[in-house]
Structure 1
Amino acid sequence: MSSLFTPFSALPLRHTRATVSCCSSGHVSFIKEVAVTEPPTHLHHLLKVLQTRGETIISPGAKQGLIPLAIPLSKDSSGSVTALLRWPTAPPGYDILVRSFLVTLNYMLFEFNLLLSKNRLDMPVVEVWRSGVRLIARNVDEYIHRILVQEDAQEMSELYIASAEAGEKLYKKGAFAESQIDNLDVYVLKKVGLFPDVLEKKVLRHFDEGDHVSAMVTGEFYTRKDLFPGFGRPFVYYANILQKVGRDSEAKEAARVALKSPWWTLGCPYEEVASIAQWEDEQIEFIREKVSDEGRFEDLKKGKDPIQVALDVAAFLLDLASIEGTWSESLHHIAKCYEEAGLKDMSNFILYTDDK
């Protein structure tokens, strides 16, 4: 079975001794002063939970070699980094928000602009990997809630205690057992929230049971534009479902939809999705041309707003860096684009690392 079709593991439950003390004040101040956005209300409690389950809390500025939009939180024993994702925003009064993620190759809008303009999109919790990020949870509260349910199902309490008042607010101890729902994943989907890995496991269960129709229905539901806006992974997974049942033409279209999202949100190497989409290297060459001085000049000559051009180029550069794994080599160029678009705070955030 394709590696594309295997859900990533988002929630290992570990109880080993953490190696550093938890200090949330540094993360909160970093988010306010460097990322220049509001930190999640229960970030401190999440950090305590992550530390208690054995992860090492790391500096939010430890961004070297990572996608520059990530705010690192912790690292597990395998080296996997959990982080918050800081979406870029557009200048005050500019009516096209986060255009940098929506223009490239006719990016699907996902009503993403509306979500951000109404402040309804929280900072997602993500796993950082070489080519970008994989979505773990849509926000900090849902992540904490799920961790506590998982722990309660194993009749343990250490993480619940660590979560303090946040745990009491988000989850009533014993609620899983009281629900009489046998399957933990079913409880999570009904009572906690929607998580990519849980939906992907649900698809696999349907296939294991020989129920291809339910697998496809679940996969299509996964791609609803209001569930995981801005992320290409749901469409990647749906493309694999369609390919598995022999609907190759529809799989190709789903993969092409995925590739209209930021490539660093695919959750797998670009090449694997491009293969299903039957895209050749001309798409990459198209982007390389767009980020060149000649490409920018052509867009300006066609009358495109200079702010828009700068944001488009930033998006293209992020896509290219995700393929080549060259985040550090692209930082200054990406930051310059955001500065040209009037996003000085975003530019500073992109460039910030602890080694400065």
Structure 2
Amino acid sequence: MKMGVMGAIHRAPCAAALPLRHVRARPIRCSSSSGHVSFIRDIAVANPPEHLDELLKVLRTRGDTIVSPGSRQGIIPLAIPLSENSSGAVTALLRWPTAPSGMEMPVVEVRKHGVWLLGKNVDQYIHRLLVEEDAHHLEENNSELYDASSEAGKKLYQRGDFAESNITNLDSYLLSKVGLFPDVLEHKVTQHFEQGDHVSALVTGEFYAKKDLFPGFGRPFVFNAEIMLKVGRISEAKDSARVALKSPWWTLGCAYESPALHNGRMSK
């Protein structure tokens, strides 16, 4: 079987591994998608996403610097960097050791404690970016991002659909029309707590932690453990933490020493 440079790291590190030292990736500029396509095909030994070029154009249009896939300092070996924004946040593709169904090459943001899921695939993330751009500029006729997405964008989203949908809440539109996203679901839970609706918060948190929603990621279980601790349900918090600790450390979305995970470690 053909194996590229990334083949040496096709075994996922366990949750107990030490977090990477957070080092800002050096933004080596890359003017086209050809370098990323060849890297994914020849080094990562995977099929490049069909609309990778459109995603790179969208990222560049929103102000990111496109970086070389070889610009890997401070990034976990499984991440293939795409761009870096003005704050230093790196958007990347995740090359799984063994990809879960429906998550062959998700889009992630590289963070201090691993990666954060931005979209289950390139198309879903492009769709989300176009919706958010449309929602945030309802009174403007700015089509730069939409134009950058080319034919892929036209297939994924029709400009003005957010306004015409009569769904006034962006989170609700994303969840119903685009897909499920960890940050959106966590925001919904936080809003429920702020409104004093603990039942809805718990139901949403339990839904978020369903194993088939974000396969391979431990973050939903960490967050659910945090919710259970918040409402004093210690036993259920331990159960959720134990599930989280079975996931790779770089999918937890927090430090391994997080209080939410402490109970899970102590109850092993």
For these two proteins, the number of residue pairs brought into alignment is: 237
What per-residue deviation string (whole Å, max 9, x for no partner) do you get for residues 114-153 of structure 1?
x3xxxx4330111112331111111111110011011111
Counterpart-to-counterpart distance in 1, 2:266 and 2:252: 15
Counterpart-to-counterpart distance in 2, 1:61 and 1:279: 40
Higher deviation after alignment, 176-185 or 270-279:
270-279
Counterpart-to-counterpart distance in 2, 1:159 and 1:143: 13
Q: Say if 1:21 and 1:274 are closer, same or farther in 2 by CA, change over 3 A.
A: closer
Name the structure 1 match of 2:131.
149
- Residue identity in the other structure for 1:149: V
8 Å contact kept, 2:225–2:261: no
Secondary structure of 2:46's aligned partner:
coil
For residue 228 of structure 1, report the CA deviation from its aligned partner: 0.4
Name the structure 2 match of 1:68.
77
Name the structure 1 match of 2:184.
198
Q: How does 1:213-252 map to 2 (within 5 A)?
A: 213-252=199-238
Q: How does 1:60-99 map to 2 (within 5 A)?
A: 60-89=69-98
Identity of aligned pairs, percent? Answer: 67
Secondary structure of 1:59's aligned partner:
coil
Secondary structure of 1:37's aligned partner:
coil
Q: Say if 1:139 and 1:221 are closer, same or farther in 2 by CA, change over 3 A.
A: same
Rg comparison, structure with higher value: 1
Counterpart-to-counterpart distance in 1, 2:36 and 2:130: 22
For residue 20 of structure 1, report the CA deviation from its aligned partner: 5.2
Counterpart-to-counterpart distance in 2, 1:278 and 1:69: 26
Name the structure 2 match of 1:254.
240
For residue 237 of structure 1, report the CA deviation from its aligned partner: 0.4
- Residue identity in the other structure for 1:276: N
Q: Say if 1:21 and 1:86 are closer, same or farther in 2 by CA, change over 3 A.
A: closer
For residue 64 of structure 1, report the CA deviation from its aligned partner: 2.1
For residue 278 of structure 1, report the CA deviation from its aligned partner: 4.5
8 Å contact kept, 1:151–1:157: no
Name the structure 1 match of 2:112.
130
Counterpart-to-counterpart distance in 2, 1:139 and 1:276: 33
Aligned CA-pair RMSD: 1.8
For residue 82 of structure 1, report the CA deviation from its aligned partner: 0.7
Secondary structure of 1:61's aligned partner:
coil
Higher deviation after alignment, 156-165 or 181-190:
156-165
For residue 21 of structure 1, report the CA deviation from its aligned partner: 6.2
For residue 233 of structure 1, report the CA deviation from its aligned partner: 0.1
What per-residue deviation string (whole Å, max 9, x for no partner) do you get for residues 212-257 of structure 1?
0110110011111111000000000001111111111211111111
8 Å contact kept, 1:176–1:187: yes
Whether 1:49 and 2:49 are equivalent positions in the alignment is no
Name the structure 2 match of 1:172.
158
Higher normalized contact order (CA 8 Å, seq sep 6+, divided by chain length): 1
For residue 52 of structure 1, report the CA deviation from its aligned partner: 0.6
The counterpart of 2:264, out of the listed 268, 277, 290, is 277
TM-score of the aligned structures, taking structure 1 as reference length:
0.64
8 Å contact kept, 1:22–1:47: no
Counterpart-to-counterpart distance in 2, 1:60 and 1:270: 28
Counterpart-to-counterpart distance in 2, 1:131 and 1:86: 17
TM-score of the aligned structures, taking structure 2 as reference length:
0.84
For residue 83 of structure 1, report the CA deviation from its aligned partner: 0.4
What per-residue deviation string (whole Å, max 9, x for no partner) do you get for residues 64-86 of structure 1?
22110000000111111110000
Whether 1:27 and 2:9 are equivalent positions in the alignment is no
8 Å contact kept, 2:208–2:220: yes
- Residue identity in the other structure for 2:149: S
Structure 1 gaps of 5+ residues are 1-18, 90-97, 99-111, 284-356
Counterpart-to-counterpart distance in 1, 2:225 and 2:261: 11
What per-residue deviation string (whole Å, max 9, x for no partner) do you get for residues 266-308 of structure 1?
001011043232439xx8xxxxxxxxxxxxxxxxxxxxxxxxx
Structure 2 gaps of 5+ residues are 1-27
8 Å contact kept, 1:124–1:137: yes
For residue 173 of structure 1, report the CA deviation from its aligned partner: 0.9
Counterpart-to-counterpart distance in 2, 1:265 and 1:242: 20
Whether 1:266 and 2:248 are equivalent positions in the alignment is no
Instruction: Give 1 or 2: higher helix fraction.
Output: 1
